[in-house]
């Protein structure tokens, strides 16, 4: 038998195979169970030993040549197919983005993200509590018992049904008037030591250019051993310098009163009058300068630490509470709080932030929109 002719013909057919399917068909035709070359191999069994010795190597060589040719043609076809795909699936990075992003991040959200970023760097975690709060967490545990006059200043929204049902404790529900109840919840849940900020919505029945029935606060709480007012002052100073992105922020601590802190301090920040506008920075005592009240704070009252389930002889702490909307107004220059909650697209387009403008300390916490 003329194996050379068979081989030449097989190799020619393999060479002419147009695609991977054709290669597979040829492989089956030559080397499959019923394949022609497999058939030749089977004839070896019926041959005489001499015949087998002369024919065997030729048949094996033929099979080897066909196997190699099939593999080579297959590889060639595959790389050609890849070339075609690479050419067809090219991405043109010079095209504009499909759609310009719409909508902006509200300044309140942006400021809350800035606060979380700054305080995370100081080792504070973010804690939360419910906006529908009970009387005990909102008042009693913060050292404001039922008859306490400070309650009257909170213009509280109570839920009517439960208020009538009980004598006022502890099931009476309300919309939290401040973020301070998160202090109690976090102490009870996590124990000490603690370093948290608690940003969120709060509610009071009050409405004018600087008051809305819903607004935002951020609470700060540190509980540890040997904590004193110096820690409070350093923390607030460090935070305000980072937030307003200026080194010349000057604070003034004034004695004050809050039921949940003892002693209590009100913190003022120095500003300069520039073209009739208040610009934070510098001592409020310098000529052309003044002091602006910014936040309430103090050393956590022993009773509050006890209500939080901790021993006040072992644990001390400081706390502070700031209006988030107010911080946003001071930093980004809005003058009417009500506009924050109107949902006016033009206001949001002007004062809002790009969703891609994520506050980071390294990038400057709050690059203006
Ligand atoms: N809860 C107070 C308020 O809403 C603010 C405040 C003052 C919070 C002093 C504090 C603090 O943690 O120590 O008016």
Burial readout 132-161 (b: 16 or more C-beta within 10 A, e: otherwise):
ebbbbbbbbbbbbeeeeeebeebebbeeee
Question: Does 186 sit in the ligand 1 pocket, CB within 6 Å?
Answer: no
Cα 217 to averaged position of ligand 1 atoms, centre (Å): 9
Statement to judge: residues 242 and 200 lie in one domain: yes
The number of domains in the chain is 2
Candidate from 144, 222, 296 with most ligand 1 atoms within 8 A of CB, to mutate = 296
What pLDDT digit, counting tens, does each position of 349-363 carry? 999 998 888 888 877
Statement to judge: residues 309 and 179 lie in one domain: yes
Question: Does 219 sit in the ligand 1 pocket, CB within 6 Å?
Answer: yes
pTM: 0.72
Q: What share of the chain is helix, strand, coil (3-state, %, to 5)?
A: 45, 20, 35
Question: Does 319 sit in the ligand 1 pocket, CB within 6 Å?
Answer: yes
Q: Is residue 356 part of a domain?
A: no
Candidate from 260, 267, 302, 324 with most ligand 1 atoms within 8 A of CB, to mutate = 260
- Segment 170-177 shows an average pLDDT of 83
What is the predicted pLDDT for the residue at 139? 95
Statement to judge: residues 176 and 297 lie in one domain: yes
Question: Does 156 sit in the ligand 1 pocket, CB within 6 Å?
Answer: no
What is the predicted pLDDT for the residue at 165? 39
DSSP state at residue 88:
H
- What is the share, in percent, of the chain residues with pLDDT greater than 70? 95
Statement to judge: residues 218 and 345 lie in one domain: yes
- What is the share, in percent, of the chain residues with pLDDT greater than 90? 72
Indicate if the pLDDT at residue 269 is higher than 70.
yes
Q: Is residue 149 part of a domain?
A: yes
Quote the domain boundaries for residue 111: 107-351
Q: Which two tokens stand for residue 21?
A: 């399917």
Statement to judge: residues 163 and 305 lie in one domain: yes
Give the CATH number, domain containing residue 138.
3.30.930.10
Statement to judge: residues 24 and 167 lie in one domain: no
For the ranges 108-122, 140-154, 293-307, which has the lowest average pLDDT?
Answer: 140-154
Instruction: Give the 3-state secondary structure of 165-214.
Output: HCCCCCCCEEECCCCCHHHHHHHHHHCCCEEEEEEEEEECCCCECCECCE
Statement to judge: residues 148 and 21 lie in one domain: no
Statement to judge: residues 83 and 114 lie in one domain: no
Question: Does 297 sit in the ligand 1 pocket, CB within 6 Å?
Answer: yes
What is the predicted pLDDT for the residue at 281? 93
């Amino acid at each position: 038998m003329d194996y050379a002719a068979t081989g030449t013909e097989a190799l020619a057919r393999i060479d002419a195979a147009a695609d991977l399917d054709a290669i597979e068909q040829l492989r089956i035709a030559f080397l499959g169970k019923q394949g022609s070359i497999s058939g030749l191999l089977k004839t070896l069994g019926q041959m005489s030993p001499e015949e087998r010795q002369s024919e065997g190597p030729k048949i094996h060589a033929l099979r080897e040549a066909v196997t190699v040719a099939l593999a080579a043609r297959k590889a060639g076809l595959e790389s050609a197919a890849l070339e075609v795909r690479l050419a067809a699936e090219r991405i043109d990075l010079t095209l504009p983005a499909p759609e310009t992003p719409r909508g902006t991040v509200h300044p309140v959200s942006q400021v809350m993200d800035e606060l979380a970023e700054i305080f995370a760097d100081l080792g504070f975690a973010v804690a939360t509590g419910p906006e529908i709060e009970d009387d005990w967490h909102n008042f009693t545990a913060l050292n404001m018992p039922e008859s306490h006059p400070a309650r009257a200043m909170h213009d509280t929204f109570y839920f009517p049904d439960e208020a009538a049902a009980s004598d006022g404790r502890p099931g009476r529900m309300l919309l939290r008037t401040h973020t301070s109840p998160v202090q109690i919840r976090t102490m009870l849940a996590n124990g000490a030591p603690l370093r948290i900020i608690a940003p969120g919505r709060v509610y009071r029945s009050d409405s004018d250019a600087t008051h809305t029935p819903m607004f935002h606060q951020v609470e700060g709480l540190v509980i540890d051993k040997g904590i004193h007012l110096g820690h409070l002052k350093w923390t607030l100073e460090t935070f305000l310098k980072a937030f307003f992105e200026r080194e010349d922020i000057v604070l003034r601590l004034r004695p004050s009163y809050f039921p949940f802190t003892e002693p209590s301090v009100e913190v003022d920040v120095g500003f300069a009058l520039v073209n009739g506008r208040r610009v934070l920075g510098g001592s409020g005592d310098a000529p052309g300068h003044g002091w602006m009240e910014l936040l309430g704070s103090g050393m956590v009252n022993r009773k509050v630490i006890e209500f939080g389930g901790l021993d006040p002889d072992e644990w001390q702490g400081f706390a502070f509470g700031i209006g988030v909307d107010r911080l946003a107004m001071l930093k980004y220059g809005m003058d009417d709080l009500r506009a924050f909650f109107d949902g006016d697209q033009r206001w949001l387009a002007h004062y809002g932030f790009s969703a891609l403008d994520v506050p980071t300390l390294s990038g400057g916490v709050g690059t203006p929109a």
